[in-house]
């Protein structure tokens, strides 16, 4: 049943990461349910099963966001079973989520950002430098970055754009890029890789994997002495910096590929370092 559902998600054009999340969450839930002596038939899932699983995750110390992601995945699966006629009602429709305070995402401070830029520029591989610059100055999701092809980039001395042909929700968008990023990509594209199928190919010329980009970010983070550097931290930094510089929130949502401006509004909140700097003003020494 789960395989059929995942096939449905693929047909809908859901991203690889989304499908991976649903597969993981559903597998964990039904493995837990079976271990508790419950039925491994998805059609027999009850609201009590969901509530007990929610309690189990909370007692295991999982964060509210993690618990709610699990519940949302199970509910979406049950809704699909209802729509397909496998069950008469969605057992999770009235199961309450865990209350959570939405915290601002992690982004780089100004000093951390400069250290990352310097570390990236010291890379012998122009590809690696271009990847970091594209994540930091175009704010792409890692899945969007690895799907880019050379024709998706258009550069000139005065302007440049990256075309994301299938972003989240399979939506197309055009992202303008600043001068530093244009120069970096221009140097990279003049090399041998410019004729490859993928803009950022592997050493064998194959499509670069998401994990490969994550490993690169980790390596750059160590060189820059920035803990926990990920592609998404670079994306968060891009969005935060635009908002901090007074760019219209609607424009930021557009270039970031956010379906709702509400998603972008989180970048108007102060980060951990900004809050720390605020309270330091109270010091008398």
Residue 206 Rama label (left phi>0; alpha psi -120 to 50; beta): beta
Q: What is the pLDDT along the chain (285 residues), one digit of tens a residue?
A: 899 999 999 988 888 888 999 999 999 999 999 999 988 899 999 999 999 999 999 999 999 989 999 999 999 999 999 999 999 999 999 999 998 777 778 899 999 999 999 999 999 999 999 999 999 999 999 999 999 999 999 998 889 999 998 777 778 899 999 999 999 999 998 875 556 789 998 888 788 999 999 999 999 999 999 999 999 999 999 999 999 999 999 999 999 999 889 889 888 887 777 777 778 877 776
Between CA 44 and CA 46 the distance in angstroms is: 6
Q: List the domains of the chain with CATH numbers.
A: 2-83 (1.10.150.130), 110-270 (1.10.443.10)
Between CA 10 and CA 12 the distance in angstroms is: 5
Between CA 249 and CA 239 the distance in angstroms is: 10
Residue 139 Rama label (left phi>0; alpha psi -120 to 50; beta): left
């Amino acid at each position: 049943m789960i395989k059929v559902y995942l096939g449905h998600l693929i047909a809908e054009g859901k991203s690889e990461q989304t499908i991976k999340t649903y597969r993981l969450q559903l597998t964990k839930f039904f493995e837990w349910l079976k271990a508790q002596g419950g039925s491994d038939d998805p059609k027999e899932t009850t609201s009590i099963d969901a509530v007990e699983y929610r309690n189990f995750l909370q007692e295991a110390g999982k964060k509210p966001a993690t618990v709610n992601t699990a519940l949302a995945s199970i509910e979406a699966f049950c809704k699909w079973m209802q729509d397909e006629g496998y069950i008469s009602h969605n057992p999770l429709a009235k199961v309450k989520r865990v209350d959570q305070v939405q915290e601002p995402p992690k982004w780089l401070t100004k000093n951390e950002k400069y250290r990352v830029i310097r570390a990236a520029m010291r890379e012998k591989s122009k590809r690696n430098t271009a990847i970091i610059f594209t994540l930091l100055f175009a704010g792409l999701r890692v899945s969007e970055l690895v799907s880019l092809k050379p024709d998706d980039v258009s550069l000139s001395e005065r302007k440049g754009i990256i075309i994301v042909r299938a972003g989240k929700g399979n939506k197309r968008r055009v992202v303008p890029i600043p001068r530093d990023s244009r120069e970096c990509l221009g140097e990279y594209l003049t090399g041998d890789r410019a004729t490859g199928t993928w803009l950022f190919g592997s050493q064998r010329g194959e499509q670069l994997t998401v994990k490969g980009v994550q490993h690169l970010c980790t390596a750059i983070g160590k060189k820059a002495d920035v803990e926990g550097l990920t592609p998404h931290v670079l994306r968060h930094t891009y969005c935060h910096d635009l908002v901090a510089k007074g760019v219209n929130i609607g424009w930021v949502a557009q270039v970031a590929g956010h379906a709702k401006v509400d998603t972008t509004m989180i970048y108007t909140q102060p980060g951990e370092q900004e809050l720390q700097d605020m309270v330091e003003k109270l010091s008398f020494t």
